[in-house]
Amino acid sequence: MNELEKYSDHIFEDIKHVDEEGREYWLARELMEVLDYKEWRKFNKVVEKAIEACNGSNYNVSDHFVLEDKMINIAKGAKRKIQDYRLSRYACYLIVQNCNPRIRIIALAQTYFAIQTRKQELSEKEYSMLTEDEKRLYQRQLTRKGNISLNIAAKNAGVKNFDKFHNAGYKGLYNGETANDIAKRKGLRYREDILDNMGSIELAANLFRITQTENKLINDHIKGENNANITHYNIGKNIREVIAKNGGTMPENLPTPQKSLKILEKDETLNHFLE
């Protein structure tokens, strides 16, 4: 068993709670101890940054951070009220992303929660039985979540110009094409999302680019906007090389679906793929 497996099994899973409805959650003060924070005042600042990131990602903060007051025993039988949070797995992920990755235990926590928050809900067999439209919707949901996580990692690396950062990844994967180039080639209208107009195979290639770039930024402690852009470009280029080596179709040569996912999302029979 490697260090990460031992760490996740014996620390994070041990402090996980399950409520009466079967939903898992963690308590902020218990997470604070695991991450070797000594003062709630300092850790609470990290929690507040995570809440800002959650809100900025258009997630409902109350679904992931539940503030609760509790009484604790102090000297001579007296009690004192303290603040705590019930945290979702995603909330824990946002918190550790705002901690110092140079500390070994934080780096392990970042990797652990990155993996856990991205666990797919469908098995390979279940996925193979989906229609192409269902696969597209499913992959698009994953790319949305992945881009949120990637943006957080990029921001922590020092990225400010996110258009340039994302275009670096597209250039690597699409042989120099930017997002605008891809949109023009696909014949899309102004500001129409290119990811909403990709088939499942093309979306899967982009999801791989997204997740691998995030992991690289975090695990290699990439710092500086230029370094982050280079990292994103190289990941995209490496994926392109793998596709070529395996005899696959280059992403720019894959067909553009007739219907945008914005249209498919209005189909009530496909609503089970939408959150």
Q: Which amino acid is at 113?
A: F
pLDDT tens for each residue of 98-139? 887 777 788 777 767 765 665 444 556 677 788 898 889 888
Model confidence, pTM: 0.57
> Residue 198 pLDDT more than 80?
yes
Tokens linked to 258 = 């007739």
Report the alpha-carbon distance of residue 252 to residue 90 in Å, rounded: 33
Could you give the number of structural domains in the chain? 2
Shared domain for 123 and 89, answered yes or no, is no
CA–CA distance from 181 to each of 184, 200, 212, 265 (Å)? 5, 20, 23, 25
Q: Choose among 205, 195, 230, 201: nearest CA to 216.
A: 230
Mean pLDDT of 218-238: 95
Shared domain for 142 and 237, answered yes or no, is yes
Shared domain for 86 and 199, answered yes or no, is no
Shared domain for 184 and 251, answered yes or no, is yes
Shared domain for 180 and 215, answered yes or no, is yes
Last residue of a domain, one of 93, 109, 142: 93
Q: Which domain holds residue 79?
A: 3-93
Report the alpha-carbon distance of residue 78 to residue 25 in Å, rounded: 29
> Residue 5 pLDDT more than 60?
no
Shared domain for 125 and 241, answered yes or no, is yes
Q: Choose among 82, 117, 78, 120: nearest CA to 97.
A: 117
Q: Which amino acid is at 163?
A: D
Beta bridge partners of 22: none
In a domain, 108, yes or no: no
Average pLDDT, the chain: 85
Shared domain for 143 and 188, answered yes or no, is yes
In a domain, 200, yes or no: yes
In a domain, 176, yes or no: yes
In a domain, 113, yes or no: no
In a domain, 36, yes or no: yes
Beta bridge partners of 66: 86
Phi-psi region of 80 (alpha: psi -120 to 50; beta: other; left: phi over 0): beta
> Residue 171 pLDDT more than 80?
yes
Shared domain for 52 and 127, answered yes or no, is no
End-to-end, the C-alpha distance of the chain in Å comes to: 35
In a domain, 232, yes or no: yes
Report the alpha-carbon distance of residue 45 to residue 214 in Å, rounded: 24
In a domain, 99, yes or no: no
Confidence of residue 271 (pLDDT cuts 50, 70, 90): low
Shared domain for 258 and 130, answered yes or no, is yes
In a domain, 178, yes or no: yes
Query: Which residue is associated with the tokens 């009484």?
Result: 71
Q: Which amino acid is at 33?
A: E
Shared domain for 181 and 83, answered yes or no, is no
pLDDT for 2 equals 46
Burial bucket for residue 64 (CB in 10 Å: 0-12, 13-18, 19+): buried
Shared domain for 136 and 255, answered yes or no, is yes
Q: Choose among 142, 124, 118: nearest CA to 261.
A: 142
pLDDT tens for each residue of 22-49? 778 999 999 999 998 999 999 999 999 9
Q: Choose among 177, 229, 228: nearest CA to 202.
A: 177
pLDDT for 93 equals 86
Shared domain for 87 and 122, answered yes or no, is no
pLDDT for 8 equals 45
In this structure, of 53-62, 74-83, 159-168, 193-202, the range with the lowest mean pLDDT score is 74-83
pLDDT for 6 equals 45
268 or 218, greater pLDDT: 218
DSSP 256: P
